[in-house]
Amino acid sequence: MMKPVSSSLVLLCLTLILSSCSFNCQIGNDTAEEKTKPRVKDEMLLYNGIELTTRNMRVGKAYLVTNDGQAERIDDDNVVDLEKGVKLILLIKEGWKEINDRVWLDASLLVTNSSGETVLEKENMFAKYGEEGLSAADAKIIGLSVYFKGENTARPDTYHVSFKISDQKGEASLEGSYKLYTR
């Protein structure tokens, strides 16, 4: 039999534990992506103010998600928590040159702040796939991540992100940009 003091302590601990948890349930297709209205350009659905130009290829959708394992859609105002990071998702319909179900891509990112200073510059982002290339199926969904670290990212700012992806064996390419805001 539990003493009154220890049973009160257990009840208090359970109350504290349960109050720090949140529960979320979702049924059907009511996702954040579908709640916002995209800009349509050449049959592409562009969310989050993403500007995109393609050459010899077709993109179905482009949007932003958090890069924290949750992959939550970022609201169209593009106000972000930099600690979660940002991932650009590009859903490719067609265009990469396939050789034996493989494609060879090159990608680059450039992030500048409101003062024009380079915060991040990354080139040859698919270098680790080298001679092997990517599977053609995997190349239909491209994710380019941006992480912000350091003391200079703690203050409110506007960031401009530019990206380019090109087919190293074919003629297809795309390039674009978007802005991120912090408070």
pLDDT, one tens digit per residue, over 142-168 is 999 987 776 666 678 999 999 999 999
Structural domains in the chain, CATH included, are 28-181 (2.70.50)
The three-class DSSP label of residue 138 is helix
pTM for the whole structure: 0.78
| pLDDT, average across residues 7-19 | 31
| Distance set, CA 129 to CA 24, 40, 140, 179 (Å) | 37, 32, 16, 29
* Residue at token pair 């990517």: 134
Q: Which is more confidently placed, 34 or 74?
A: 74
50-76 b/e (C-beta count within 10 Å ≥ 16 → b)? bebebeebebebbbbbbbeeeeebbeb
| pLDDT, average across residues 24-36 | 39
